[in-house]
A and B are shown apart, each in its own frame.
Chain A
Amino acid sequence: MSRFVYYLIISNMVANIIASVPRILLGKSEGGAILTMIMALFFGVLINWLLIRTFSSFPGKSLPQILDLYVSKWVSLPALFTLGVVWYTAGLQTLISYVDLLLRFLTPEMSVYTIFATFVLVISFGMVMQSRNVLSTLEVVFVMLLPLAIYFLVKIYFNEQLNWDHVKVAVMYIDHPPNYTVFAAASYLFVGAFDIIVFNSLLKKKMVFGFKQAAIVLLLGTFTLITTYFVPIGILGFDKIEDIIYPWILTSDSVRMKFGVIERVIFIFLLIFLAIAFLNIMIHWHVSFKLFKHIFQLDKLQSRKKNIAKSVIIVIFWAAALFITIQVTEYDLFLYSIYFFNIMPVIVIGLIGILLVVKRRAKS
């Protein structure tokens, strides 16, 4: 498996540590969250396995190219359109969460439009870049920030304020029945690799997903899920943890570096995770952008001999994002995120279904 696929997986996992996933998991802390997470873990590895296996038959081809070859337009266009919308929403969801976060914790006096604009300008730039450059950006940011993120996580695990009694209280709820929304949210952490529906055109080598790769994904997932779920419980306490809107922000605000340059770790934490979330949004929108470009054949859209496809899509992306960001309240965001997570497993299974059919056709 190419290292970029790991980057994609990790970036999705890390970006979602902050946004709505932990709240959904912790919301069911007195329900079946733990059992569900274990189920989601195996489901996550399974979908990654199926994805890489099917794509390994088409090295160097993106999903639109594959579908063009083997499936009729009546199937491929609606499918790609759905995927485009889903990926756009995925980016948008993270975007709104982060605009919200900045507004609450980093720059409470700034106007929401300014924050939105700073985000969207940079992201749009990344969106229209070539796919190869997007992947390179991913790598650069990773090399720079992942050590810091790991330092932060180590710091938090060895924090004496992390009360293991609270964690154990949470574990005592392991016998409660699983819950679908928690399952969907937890397995969403694993869909990072699905970005290869576009990026596969750059991955020319045939990918393998054997035991080793499965073990790595399993380990990454286990670590992320355990961290996402148990660390806030250990720091903030088990009781009433479901009342907290951004569990991870409060968690990072509860960690201090006694003799560090900055005592409040939250600012470093926010910056690191902000950068990774930036990447995540950029990647999602890039995928979405490419899909839409393919569907509407926008390469042919010309005005005065200049290609205006990019501008059209960007304007639509911006307008929709701005409208929704301004409209939704925190509660709406939470509710819509739940809807989004709930349909995600269906989309993923549908996509894998199509891929399996295509793979069989390609063989015959």
Chain B
Amino acid sequence: MKRHIFSILKPSVIVMLLFTLLLQTGCAFKDIDKRLFISAIGIDPPEKSDEGYKVTLKVALPFGAIKESAKSSYAYLTEEGESIGEIIRMLETHVDKVLEFGHMKTIVIHQDLMADNMDTFMDYFFRRGDIQLIAYVAGANPSAEDILRVEPQTEAPASLSLFNFFGDTATESPYIVTTFLFQFRKDLISDGINPVLPLVETTKEHDELVVNNAIVVGKQQEPVELSNMETKYYNSLFKGSSGFSYKVEHGDDRLLLNISRIDMDYEILTKNDVPKVIEMNVKMSGIVGESKHPLTLSKLDEYNQFSSEEVKRKIHSLLKNMQEKSVDPFGFGLRYRATRQYHEDIYRTWEKAYPDIEFKVNVEVKLQSTGTIE
């Protein structure tokens, strides 16, 4: 008889335990229709006061079926305040649902905010566990709010154009720099490198997004804007993007090279423990994509020659320009630290030497063919 009681007791305890699960789910998880998914955050300088920020959230609105909606719909929330965290807490009171940051993938920052100590407001994003570190960071011109409010015509329902620009998932272009949040943090706090952010702009009619410039974020100085061409060269030399066109001019000739592979390495040469020269070797190979005049295969060497000269000149001017503005987006300083035994003055030595350093660039362009026609 006793045995009988025990055999009932055991399953009933298990059933009771299972019932407690019902209690658990109720308080932990809020349903998906009780949440608002933030897709992008924009940060601007405030309009009403002198200090603080203006934060704009782009919220993706859910809809029943993709087929039913012709266009994706978004809501925008804007608020000003002293710190990012505070503003977002305030914004939580503007909506009836929970703000969910797990899918937030782009942080857009007004150009003017890149001047002074960015780490103060970026701290919020680094510190929060639920914001992904593989979110993209981008600069905005004219303002972050304007950029977020742009809804391009090419935007498909249930997607956001802003995401597709970066990370090589959709468009791939040497003009587009991709900077992830973790990468941005790394470059921001490391000595010897300056972070580079893509600059998102828009047309007058606010119906297109344009990303083809970049900004070098200065540490304790104004940011430096890179031109289209500089962005492209930076990207292909230091970010390994290739397969793109380089225009070279030689007298009356004008060639467009389609470069498929770029190898770059450099070395920092020192004299008496002071860095003096950066010697850079660049190897490119590709084909001719467009020409003003007919070409001959036998003259490939000649084309190689003047292409190399031209590319070399452009790389040199990019390096020189960055040096004059005293920023180092390439991480030369970091490389210097990485190749010398640590001592306390190592970085100071570099900082002192960088403005006077000399660049020696060797470029070797190897054209494989003139394309399908001569």
Contacts and interface: CB of A to CB of B under 8 A. Distances in A.
Contacts of B338: 164-169, 172
A235 interface: yes
B129 interface: yes
Interface residues of B, number: 32
Nearest to A235: B182
Nearest to A160: B240
Interface in A165-197: 165-169, 172-173, 175
A139 interface: no
B87 to A, nearest CB: 20
A237 B27 contact: no
A104 B30 CA distance: 17
Interface in B158-179: 167-169
Contacts of A258: 167-169
Interface in A220-247: 235-240
Contacts of A68: none
Contacts of B341: 172, 175
Contact of A253 (B29, B133, B339, B342): B133
Contacts of B270: none
A111 B180 contact: no
Contacts of B169: 258-259
Given A172-B342, A254-B133, A264-B134, A110 B28 contact: yes
Contacts of B24: 110, 114
A263 interface: yes
B334 A166 contact: yes
A360 to B, nearest CB: 48
Contacts of A110: 24, 28
B190 A166 contact: yes
Contacts of A255: 134
Interface in A253-283: 253-256, 258-259, 263-264, 266
Contacts of B190: 166, 237-239
Nearest to A164: B338
Most buried by A among B30, B167, B183: B183
A240 B186 CA distance: 9
A240 B28 contact: no
A163 B186 contact: yes
A250 interface: yes
B342 A250 contact: no
B154 to A, nearest CB: 21
A273 B133 CA distance: 19
Contact of A165 (B27, B29, B240, B334): B334
Given A110-B28, A175-B341, A236-B182, A263 B134 contact: yes
Contacts of A107: 28
B71 interface: no
Contacts of B334: 165-166, 169
Contact of A236 (B30, B129, B130, B186): B186
Given A108-B129, A111-B28, A168 B339 contact: yes
Given A111-B27, A173-B342, A175-B341, A253 B331 contact: no
B185 A237 contact: yes
Contacts of A114: 24, 28
B7 to A, nearest CB: 14
A105 interface: yes
Nearest to B169: A258
Contacts of B133: 250, 253-254
Most buried by B among A105, A169, A240: A169
A3 to B, nearest CB: 35
Nearest to A105: B129
A292 B117 CA distance: 57
Contacts of B78: none
A161 interface: yes
Contacts of B141: none
A332 interface: no
Contacts of A105: 129-130
Contacts of B254: none
Given A160-B240, A256-B134, A165 B180 contact: no
A166 B183 CA distance: 12
A165 B193 CA distance: 11
B199 to A, nearest CB: 21
A164 B182 CA distance: 16
A350 to B, nearest CB: 37
Given A175-B342, A239-B190, 18 more contacts: A109-B29, A111-B27, A114-B24, A169-B334, A172-B340, A173-B342, A236-B182, A236-B186, A237-B190, A238-B190, A240-B189, A250-B133, A253-B133, A253-B134, A254-B182, A258-B167, A259-B169, A264-B132
6 contacts: A109-B29, A165-B337, A166-B186, A253-B134, A256-B180, A259-B169
Interface of A: 104-105, 107-111, 114, 160-161, 163-169, 172-173, 175, 235-240, 250, 253-256, 258-259, 263-264, 266
The 5 A-B pairs with the shortest beta carbon distances in the complex, nearest first, are A237-B186, A168-B338, A254-B182, A253-B133, A165-B338
